[in-house]
Amino acid sequence: MNNVTEQFAGINKAGYDNAVRFASFSLEKAAHLAKFNFQAAKAAMEQGVQSAGIVGGITDAKEFAAVNTKLSEAGVQQALGYTRGLYEIASQGQAEFTTLADDAWAGYSDHVSAWVETAAKNAPAGSEVAVKALKSTVAATNAAYEQFSKATRQIASLADATVRAAIANAAKAAPATKGSKAS
């Protein structure tokens, strides 16, 4: 019976270790996002200061129109760059989180299955129905997780393709807008 208790303690320790891994991962990604946003804010401020200097030197309406178009295009490109960078951070984080979750689930599932097998071997006579129900529950839980994981990956893949296409279309539309304004 001591082996069952040790296995259960192992399951708890694995859960604790996974919680620490998830917390560390979350903090790492939050720091990366904060650094990215700080750099984007710094670049936006620098661009704003530069734009204000340019606008301050304008002397006529024709020059204002040309500068306005140029600054608008630069703003669109900056926004697209920010969106791409932000999406890459989110996409990378999602992929890493999925890997962490899958690894954690596989370890948990293996520990629980081993625990159930050990408990079944040490179960008193007449408890076969309860053991069979426990094994069935573990198998059903694993199957449900696999279905959930598969559906999540499909949704993430669809979302990835959609966002990438939207960013690509926006990038194509920006030069088209430039050409129509210049006409």
Full pLDDT tens readout for the chain, 183 residues: 467 788 878 888 888 998 999 999 999 999 999 999 999 999 999 999 999 988 888 888 888 888 888 888 888 889 889 988 999 999 899 889 989 989 998 888 888 888 888 888 888 888 888 888 988 998 998 899 899 889 988 888 888 888 888 888 887 876 655 544 443
Q: What's the pLDDT at 176?
A: 59
Q: What's the pLDDT at 182?
A: 43
Contacts (Cβ under 8 Å, ≥6 apart) of 85: 36, 40
How far apart, in whole angstroms, are the C-alpha atoms of residue 170 and residue 164? 10
Contacts 24+ apart (CB under 8 A), 163-170: 163/87, 164/87, 167/80, 167/83, 167/84, 167/87, 170/80, 170/83
Q: What's the pLDDT at 183?
A: 39
Name the pTM for this structure. 0.69
58: its two tokens: 């304008």
